Amino acid sequence: MTLLELSRCYEEAAELLRARLRQLRQLLAQTQDPEEIFQMKRRIRELTPMLTQMNELAELTAHYYDRGYWRSDKYTL
């Protein structure tokens, strides 16, 4: 598997996370139950950093070999 192919996998995973977060936010707006609100907000807080990381990794793997591409220090050794 090449890094470009891996990038597409990260993009697909990010899209699934975006869809789930969208769904949770819609449900959150519709519910009144404090326990459900707490659980949904907690899940949103857990998924948001995952989405950020998926987006970062998709970008990194898509452009890893591009000349002049600045790589984040977060993902370098």
Q: Which of 61, 51, 53, 67 is nearest to 17 (CA)?
A: 51
Q: What is the pLDDT of residues 24-39, one digit of tens each?
A: 999 999 999 999 999 9
In the chain, domain spans: 3-62
Calpha distance 42→39 (Å, rounded) = 5
Q: Which of 19, 26, 53 is nearest to 40 (CA)?
A: 26
pTM of the full predicted structure? 0.84
Instruction: Tell me the pLDDT of the chain (77 aa) as tens digits.
Output: 899 999 999 999 999 999 999 999 999 999 999 999 999 999 999 999 999 999 999 998 898 888 877 776 776 65
Question: Tokens at residue 28, please?
Answer: 């959150």
Which residue type does 6 have? L
